[in-house]
Amino acid sequence: MWDEEKTKALENINNILFKTKGKMDNVIFIYTPPKVGSTSLVSSIRISAANKYSVLHIHDEVMLNVLTGCSNISINEIIHYNKKIGKNVFVIDIYRTPIERKISEYFEKLSCHHFNNTDENLNNYNIKKIINRFNKLFPHLASQDYFHSVYNIEIPSCFDFEKKYLHVIKNGINYIKLRLYDSSMWNKILSDLLQTEIVIVHDYETEKKKIGDLYKKFKANYQIPVNLWRNIQECPYFNYYLSSEEKKTYNDFWGKKVGEAVIPYTKNQYDFYMQLCLENKFYNDFQHEHYMDVGCMCRPCSQKRIELFNKAKRGEKVTDRIIHEENVLNLQKNIVKSIQEKFQKKKNNNFAQSRRNNNKPINGLLNSIVNTKW
């Protein structure tokens, strides 16, 4: 399938992507376009099954290049390589309704890219200015469907509206298509497909960011231009993934919010716009703590993961994040507290000779706990 040089390159990249987690037999590629709900899916699977599945979240080859420094390997090749070395491979994509996905993608880089300003300053912008820019970009935002055009698999003639997902097996690889529309059912769907209990948590939601109020204001005021609305009606993915009843509901909602036609950017104008935005870009859009769960398998993070899993399973809202440094510190504090309580109990029962002598073993234990590499 590949020559020796290519196989070695794939092995090296795979080790970078999965590190020690690559030793697991089960691998899940959350391989989707941006802004379809994939971050929540990643965190949900990690919180539920980090000890059973290695999860890689990736959008495209540009992202692969950033992660690995390699530009001559495709994501599909990495997927097939994992199958070749004996992994049980799942590839998951998500469909999100078109207008909502375009709005979300636009707001993802609204400050750092489209307006080159801070979230705080952008909250003071006139909403008409924000809407006008969006309409100019509309045809060029969030238009690709990976399940149809990237995975290189045979697509069923229609979506399974009864099961609420698609499952295609090709070359022993499991390709799964979910809909954000059905996210309330993802726990059952994924628990069945992955053969382990999955709970769903909501992670990285735009409305919870600093720009959240502007996002809500945009959605409340936006009217889709009639010519762009017609484009949505003609979209093949819109007509494939939504049933007749679902399309009617969607059309009834947005049909009341149709406005006058606009002239969006042409392809050449959009390319120039993107180039100019990148040249002018000043604010870094690097995302710290992007995931609720980054997949760290150390003891403190694993304990925190169990806590969040049980919380989600009880139906409680999960807002905590699994942050290694914080979890290590909390575990150290708990151990220290437990040791102090035990020594205090011994002291009260006259097992210790004196407070001074009693503190020596305590201090030694505390120092060893603080210096432990978790």
pLDDT at 194 over 80: yes
Listed residue (318, 300, 156) closest to 240, CA to CA: 156
- 55 within a domain of the structure (yes/no): yes
- 240 within a domain of the structure (yes/no): yes
- 345 within a domain of the structure (yes/no): yes
- Of the three residues 289, 313, 337, the one that is the final residue of a domain is 313
Based on the fold, state whether residues 82 and 193 are members of the same structural domain. Answer: yes
Based on the fold, state whether residues 225 and 364 are members of the same structural domain. Answer: no
Based on the fold, state whether residues 14 and 145 are members of the same structural domain. Answer: yes
Domain tally, the chain: 2
* Domain containing residue 63: 4-313
Enclosing H/E stretch for 114: none
| pLDDT tens digits, one per residue of 279-315 | 888 766 545 456 788 888 888 888 888 989 899 889 8
Angle 157-158-164 from CA coordinates, rounded to 5°:
140
Based on the fold, state whether residues 184 and 329 are members of the same structural domain. Answer: no
Based on the fold, state whether residues 304 and 350 are members of the same structural domain. Answer: no
Instruction: Tell me the residue length of the chain.
Output: 374
| pLDDT tens digits, one per residue of 202-242 | 875 656 678 888 999 999 999 999 999 999 999 999 999 99
What per-residue confidence (pLDDT) applies to 288? Answer: 47
pLDDT at 355 over 70: no
| pLDDT tens digits, one per residue of 238-278 | 999 999 999 999 999 999 999 999 999 999 999 999 999 98
| pLDDT tens digits, one per residue of 8-54 | 999 999 999 987 544 689 999 999 999 999 999 999 999 999 999 99
What per-residue confidence (pLDDT) applies to 340? Answer: 73
Based on the fold, state whether residues 350 and 246 are members of the same structural domain. Answer: no
pLDDT at 333 over 90: no
Based on the fold, state whether residues 361 and 296 are members of the same structural domain. Answer: no
Based on the fold, state whether residues 307 and 331 are members of the same structural domain. Answer: no
Based on the fold, state whether residues 235 and 348 are members of the same structural domain. Answer: no
Is the alpha carbon torsion for 166, 167, 173, 179 positive or negative?
positive
Distance CA 261, CA 255 (A): 14
Angle between helix axes 61-68 and 75-84 (nearest 10 degrees) is 70
- DSSP single-letter state for residue 94: E
Task: Give the range with max mean pLDDT: 174-178, 295-299, 320-324.
Answer: 174-178
Based on the fold, state whether residues 28 and 47 are members of the same structural domain. Answer: yes
- 64 within a domain of the structure (yes/no): yes
Q: Please report how many Cα atoms fall inside a 13 Å half-sphere around the Cα of residue 146, on the Cβ side.
A: 26
Beta strands in the chain (DSSP E): 26-31, 53-58, 88-95, 166-170, 173-179, 224-225, 258-259
Percent of the chain at pLDDT exceeding 70: 87
Listed residue (89, 108, 91) closest to 100, CA to CA: 108
CA separation, residue 322 to residues 53, 128, 276, 298, 319 (Å) = 17, 39, 38, 11, 10
- 319 within a domain of the structure (yes/no): no
- 318 within a domain of the structure (yes/no): no
Based on the fold, state whether residues 119 and 217 are members of the same structural domain. Answer: yes
